[in-house]
Amino acid sequence: MDNSQDKAAARSENPSRAKPDRATIGSIAIRVFALLLMAVLIFHEETRFESEKNCPGEEIPRSQLFSADYKLVTSFSSFHDPNDQLVRIVTLVGGTEPEEVLSSDVCVQREFLAKLVRKLKLSGSSIIVIDKRFSDSTCANQTKGTDDLIKAVAEGGSRVVIGLGTSFVPRSQWKTLGTRVTCMTADSTVKFKEAKLGLIRIDSDTRRVALDWPVFADAKEPPKLMPTLALLAAEEVNPNVTRRKRLASILNSGKPPFSFFNPRNTFNKYSALALLCGTAATPSTPWRNCTEAPDTLSTELQGKIAVIGEYSSSDEHETVLGSMYGVDLQANYIAALLSDDVYIAVGDSLSNTLYATFWFLVVQGIFAFVRPLPRAAVFCGILWAAIFITSVLLLTYWGRLITFWFQGLNLGIILLTWVEYWLHGMSVHHK
């Protein structure tokens, strides 16, 4: 008995030799876990931030698009729906359109598009957007299709916005324009009259709307910003769209905004052949003989934005909603810009790290000084809810996004700290 008392006295006199109890070990483990969680999530954001320093036009796999986060964000993104009621998609689809129009002979396709543009103009379409590029070196020996298209575009009526292609340049030739990397050159194109040309290159992250790109318009000239097809189309519909407070600030930031976009079957779609030759037309119908006068089907596009594009495997892109064709994405981007349904993330990797560290210290301080424990938990919960509501208001009215993984990190720190103090209290209680 005396021997055990002597050992206890020795331990009390020599606290450095005493082993930590389970509560202390658990507390240390939980704090280490919380710090590791913060490090992993912040490193995740840092990795994404660093990836933006690469050429942003190079497409990334769908596995990196974080669909769950995107769907949560877009559910709070706006108090109105995208302006899809104005947008109509006119498709060129294999098996539906004449084979010669979809073959490698793009000269015939230009002739077909010329007749389609004329009919849409006569039918009163507001804007005609052609999501295709037209190289000036193609059809050099077969100029009829190109000449017809140039004339059709120049005729009066609906305004026309045409796609302009881009090509990547070697990394050794990259330059910066402000803070943005210039890694592309604008392709040579047919000289259209009375039409605007917009870059058809989409962002590597298809959730984002590319508004403009820094490109080399000429190898001997410094890079310059050129607008995209979607932005030009939206400006043609509403010349004041870039003066809206939200979009104007986003354009000044130089960052492509996120957007809400709809599944493929949301927009009204029309077969190009059906519009030109009627619903009874088949791929074998002699489309050159079809009338360009308005009919019942084509007048459905009166006052609408007709976005023309091809459903081709070469223009298929991975998105958070599955695989989508380029023309579907362009239609979504135009609708989002018209609805002002675009937003950008708040902060960068450094500010996010500082904020997460500050929040961790605040939560630790609240649990250390506020008693009883449930009151501290409620206090932290109210503080978190206030930050969450503020972030939703920022997103809805000002287009500024505090990402939802970050909100989850904030809540996780509260829960882990509460568990730590609760376990410590239980351990002390049972001693």
Per residue of the chain (431 residues), give pLDDT as tens: 455 555 445 444 444 444 555 655 666 666 666 666 655 655 554 444 444 456 777 766 555 545 445 555 555 544 445 556 789 999 999 888 888 888 767 899 999 999 999 999 999 999 999 999 999 988 878 889 999 999 999 999 999 999 999 999 998 889 988 888 899 999 999 999 889 999 999 988 888 899 999 999 876 788 999 999 999 999 999 999 999 888 888 888 888 888 866 655 678 899 999 999 999 999 999 999 999 999 999 999 999 999 999 998 888 888 777 788 999 999 999 998 998 888 877 766 667 777 777 888 888 888 888 888 889 889 999 998 988 888 777 777 777 777 666 777 788 888 878 877 776 665 544 45
SS3 420: helix
- In this structure, the answer to whether residues 184 and 295 fall within a common structural domain is yes
- In this structure, the answer to whether residues 252 and 386 fall within a common structural domain is no
- In this structure, the answer to whether residues 41 and 110 fall within a common structural domain is no
CA atoms of 215 and 200, how far apart (whole Å): 13
- In this structure, the answer to whether residues 175 and 304 fall within a common structural domain is yes
CA atoms of 76 and 401, how far apart (whole Å): 10
- In this structure, the answer to whether residues 199 and 303 fall within a common structural domain is yes
- Per DSSP, helices labelled H in 155-300 are 229-237, 245-253, 272-277
Residue 391 lies in domain: 22-52+346-429
- Per DSSP, helices labelled H in 294-372 are 326-338, 349-369
CA atoms of 48 and 169, how far apart (whole Å): 23
Residue 69: inside a domain, yes or no? Answer: no
How many structural domains compose the chain?
Answer: 2
CA atoms of 45 and 47, how far apart (whole Å): 5
Residue 3: inside a domain, yes or no? Answer: no
CA atoms of 222 and 228, how far apart (whole Å): 19
- In this structure, the answer to whether residues 163 and 234 fall within a common structural domain is yes
Domain boundary among 289, 322, 340: 340
CA atoms of 310 and 170, how far apart (whole Å): 29
CA atoms of 423 and 209, how far apart (whole Å): 48
CB atoms inside a 10 Å sphere around CB 413: 23
- In this structure, the answer to whether residues 148 and 30 fall within a common structural domain is no
- In this structure, the answer to whether residues 333 and 373 fall within a common structural domain is no
CA atoms of 69 and 48, how far apart (whole Å): 14
Domain boundary among 302, 317, 340: 340
- In this structure, the answer to whether residues 131 and 275 fall within a common structural domain is yes
Domain boundary among 323, 340, 357: 340
- In this structure, the answer to whether residues 42 and 141 fall within a common structural domain is no
